[in-house]
Amino acid sequence: MKPSPTYVFNLPPEEQVIKRNRTITTYYAQLYQREPYLYKWAGMAAFASFHIGEKLKMWNWESSGIESLSVTCARKNRSLGDDFQIIRIINNNIFAEIGGAHLAFSQMEFHLFKANLINANKHKLIIEAFERLNHEREQLKSGGHSELNNEIIWNANIQILWHEQSKVVQPLFDKLTRAFSRAMTFFASFDYKINHHPTRRISRSRFILFMLLNGYGIVRSNGLLPELTNLNHRWFWISEDLIKKWKIVESDHDLVAKEINDLAQMEDRSLSL
């Protein structure tokens, strides 16, 4: 099959860890900012990428430099720095697999975009999700939007999120050290407000508290305690708490517009949509 034209986005080099993360966050936020009815995944991803960036700031990247996944995982005695490398790689891989596809989808003719996905052997789940989003995008352009359209859009975005968690994140989470995984489980939280703003219960969640209070059945079937790196546990948290809260938060248009605007201005990037 003849290669189709591709969309090229501009990211800082991997060595500029924090700047690259901030640019990724900016791209997600700008994408959601322009079409919030369509890009639900991008809106959530903007907040997720921001919080990952705050964690990446805890490591001295100028001193340690970056390393490939193969080098990081080859060590017999793994260090804290190796785990931070994996988190950095996860952030990059999510953009490479899904974020970049969203940017291309937003700017390319769909038949060319779909051809690129097929040429790149992308998972059937991703192709189907973007097909649904394209259909709903055309509906929005023609002025048609109903609760059914909204439900289809949400289902497509959740399908993309499941692919992200199961196919992109989980294989790398499996490579984290046991100590780091336990620490993540204890400290993991999510907030739909960025750090310098006051927060409230409806916009934030802490993994371990939610699972202990609401996930007894699923935790019991997989062990005694919740684990963030357990896909079943993490997906229960995401689907039963984070997604539901995102739906509530984004219904407050003034609130989400302010937060997304701040995230969209983290780096000097502008999407020509």
| CB-CB neighbours of 190 under 10 Å | 20
- Structural domain includes residue 160: yes
pLDDT tens digit sequence for 90-147:
999 999 999 999 999 999 999 999 999 999 999 999 999 999 999 999 988 887 677 8
- Structural domain includes residue 224: no
- Structural domain includes residue 136: yes
| Alpha carbons 34 and 56: distance in angstroms, whole number | 28
Number of domains in the chain: 1
- Structural domain includes residue 238: no
Choose among 81, 57, 68, 64: nearest CA to 177.
81
Percent of the residues in the chain that have a pLDDT greater than 90, as a whole number:
74
Three-state DSSP at 23 gives: helix
Assess whether pLDDT exceeds 60 at residue 1. Answer: no
- Structural domain includes residue 94: yes
At CA 113, angle to CA 133 and CA 9, rounded to 5? 100
Assess whether pLDDT exceeds 50 at residue 273. Answer: no
Model pTM score: 0.92
| Alpha carbons 19 and 39: distance in angstroms, whole number | 23
Enclosing domain of residue 76: 17-188+253-264
pLDDT tens digit sequence for 212-243:
999 888 887 766 789 999 999 999 999 999 99
pLDDT tens digit sequence for 139-193:
888 876 778 888 999 999 999 999 999 999 999 999 999 999 999 999 999 999 8
- Structural domain includes residue 5: no
Token couple for 97: 């697999």
At CA 237, angle to CA 170 and CA 185, rounded to 5? 65
pLDDT of residue 253: 79
What phi and psi values does residue 153 have, to the nearest 5 degrees? -60, -45
- Structural domain includes residue 200: no
Counting Cα atoms < 13 Å in the Cβ hemisphere of 130 gives 26
- Structural domain includes residue 95: yes
pLDDT of residue 76: 83
